[in-house]
Amino acid sequence: MSSSSLFTFSLLLFIAFLLFSSSSATPHHQRHRRFASHNYRDAFTKSILFFEGQRSGKLPSNQRLNWRKDSGLSDGKAMNVDLVGGYYDAGDNVKFGYPMAFTTTMLSWSVIEFGGLMKGELQNAREAVRWASDYLLKATAHPDTIYVQVGDAIKDHACWERPEDMDTPRTVLKIDKNNPGTEVAAETAAALAAASLVFRRVDKAYSKLLVRRAIRVFSFADKYRGAYSNGLKKWVCPFYCDFSGYQDDLLWGAAWLHRATKNPTYLHYIQVNGQTLGADEEDFTFGWDNKHVGARILLSKAFLVQNVQQLHDYKSQADNFICSLIPGTPYSSAKYTPGGLLFKMNDSNSQYVTSTSFMLVSYAKYLTSAKKFVTCGSTIIAPKKLRAIAKKQVSIL
């Protein structure tokens, strides 16, 4: 497994911290006793602020981290395209399109579902989404071409430099119909579609632009199939190789386009291609490389909340994921440390803990709305149990 993005980790961590400032959190008297040493609201604020520290490009006048300055102003010039903007991945100065798009999708999802709880930070969260979606629009400006990386990771990682001072090559990588990259294209489509929902009520013109681009990019992803980590292997591996295949990304992308457009074309696509794209596979790890769990939870909402009966199987698949996490049930398979932390991977385990926590609270929200439960054999799991598991995981972190 490749290294994980601190950028992605921070995104999911701030989502998990949001649990503790929401109205559904532990009652105040219990919260004071168990979590008095942690200021989760402050952590939430700083997690959003983290995105400003990762910005590339021409910084705006309202930039709050004033120790950061403009950087990467010539990005894309080597190929006569404008790729200024976006986010650096972690402690390096590379812009990896695949994890950046995934992070954009997840940040958008958090705003869509929990924006009402963000209060004074909602506008900052929207701006964090827009900084990414503006860049993704640039990266997808040319039909049947997506610019998926800026920077040479090998050379970049050999130097420890501020973005403002970097002198490493700003190599530009792209995918096209001759050198496809279905996984990164489908994830980019998902990001654009999810971001369109963030701005649907506050900037309708921008929202429509995003969804139109998402439609075009998904069509490209589906039509020209192939793994970008094949054609661009020496550049993207071992950093963000696609280990799980691109099928999960296509299902994920179609799920987001179905949600953003309500176009029956995408529902039909999911019905016809779901099994081929791995909808029934028992893979219970959710992250930038494998989106099956996320797609199941997202499509379950359409069944539970919007009553899209054709997607009823995804509720069962989402339930299987939940049952895998709960010790003592017949279908439990998750591993936990002696201290109770979910253990998924030796490398960067925390990202999976936080992504799982987000799946739990999102699914709990959908179940509550539909007045439904999870059945694990003879055990009935209420939504509050899902929230309790998520809270425990974040408290350990």
Q: Read off the pLDDT of residues 80-133 as tens digits, 9 standing for 90 and up.
A: 999 999 999 888 999 999 999 999 999 999 999 999 888 889 999 999 999 999
What string of H, E and C letters represents the secondary structure of the chain?
CCCCCHHHHHHHHHHHHHHHHCCCCCCHHHHHHHHCCCCHHHHHHHHHHHHHHCECECCCCCCCCCCCCCECCCCCHHHCCCCCCCECCCCCCCEEHHHHHHHHHHHHHHHHHHHHHCHHHHHHHHHHHHHHHHHHHHHCCCCCEEEEEECCHHHHHCCCCCHHHCCCCCCEEEEECCCCCHHHHHHHHHHHHHHHHHCCCCCHHHHHHHHHHHHHHHHHHHHCCCCHHHHCHHHHCCCCCCCCCCHHHHHHHHHHHHHHHCCHHHHHHHHHHCCCCCCCCCCCCCCCCCCHHHHHHHHHHHHHCCCCHHHHHHHHHHHHHHHHHCCCCCCCCCEECCCCCEECCCCCHHHHHHHHHHHHHHHHHHHHHHCCCEEECCEEECHHHHHHHHHHHHHHC
Among 14-23, 47-56, 209-218, 277-286, the least confident range: 14-23
Average pLDDT over residues 349-357: 87
The model's confidence at residue 8, banded by pLDDT at 50, 70 and 90, is low
Average pLDDT over residues 124-144: 97
383: Cα separation from own chain's centroid: 23
Average pLDDT, the chain: 90
Average pLDDT over residues 31-53: 72
pLDDT at 180: 97
Considering the chain, what percentage of its residues have pLDDT values greater than 70? 90
Per residue in 51-85, pLDDT tens?
999 999 999 999 999 999 999 999 999 899 999 99
pLDDT at 17 over 80: no
In this structure, are residues 361 and 314 in contact, taking their beta carbons and an 8 Å threshold? no
Amino acid found at 183: E
The model's confidence at residue 3, banded by pLDDT at 50, 70 and 90, is very low
Torsion angles phi and psi, residue 85, rounded to 5: 115, -160
The model's confidence at residue 27, banded by pLDDT at 50, 70 and 90, is very low
Q: How far apart are CA 198 and CA 104, in angstroms?
A: 11
pTM summary value: 0.93
Torsion angles phi and psi, residue 338, rounded to 5: -55, -30
In degrees to the nearest 10, what's the CA dihedral of 14, 19, 23, 29? -120
Average pLDDT over residues 288-299: 96
Torsion angles phi and psi, residue 108, rounded to 5: -60, -45
Identify which has the larger pLDDT, 332 or 36.
Answer: 332
Torsion angles phi and psi, residue 222, rounded to 5: -75, -35
Torsion angles phi and psi, residue 161, rounded to 5: -135, 150
The model's confidence at residue 18, banded by pLDDT at 50, 70 and 90, is low
For the ranges 20-29, 115-124, 342-351, the one whose mean pLDDT is highest? 115-124
Amino acid found at 67: W
| Closest to 218 measured CA to CA, from 174, 172, 250, 178 | 250
Among 10-14, 66-70, 134-138, 151-155, the least confident range: 10-14
pLDDT at 25 over 60: no
Among 13-27, 148-162, 189-203, 250-264, the least confident range: 13-27
Among 8-17, 21-30, 142-151, the least confident range: 21-30
Identify which has the larger pLDDT, 17 or 356.
Answer: 356
Considering the chain, what percentage of its residues have pLDDT values greater than 90? 71
Average pLDDT over residues 341-365: 88
What's domain 6-396's architecture? Alpha/alpha barrel (1.50)
Residue 44, token pair as written in the block: 């939430």
pLDDT at 32: 44
Q: How far apart are CA 201 and CA 10, in angstroms?
A: 26
pLDDT at 318: 97
pLDDT at 14: 59
The model's confidence at residue 45, banded by pLDDT at 50, 70 and 90, is confident
Identify which has the larger pLDDT, 9 or 72.
Answer: 72
pLDDT at 236: 86
The model's confidence at residue 19, banded by pLDDT at 50, 70 and 90, is low
Residue 215, token pair as written in the block: 């439609």
Query: How many Cβ atoms from other residues are within 10 Å of residue 140's Cβ?
Result: 22
Average pLDDT over residues 229-247: 87
Residue 342, strand partner residues: 336
Identify which has the larger pLDDT, 39 or 294.
Answer: 294
Region for residue 371 given its phi and psi (left: phi exceeds 0; alpha: psi -120 to 50; beta: otherwise):
left
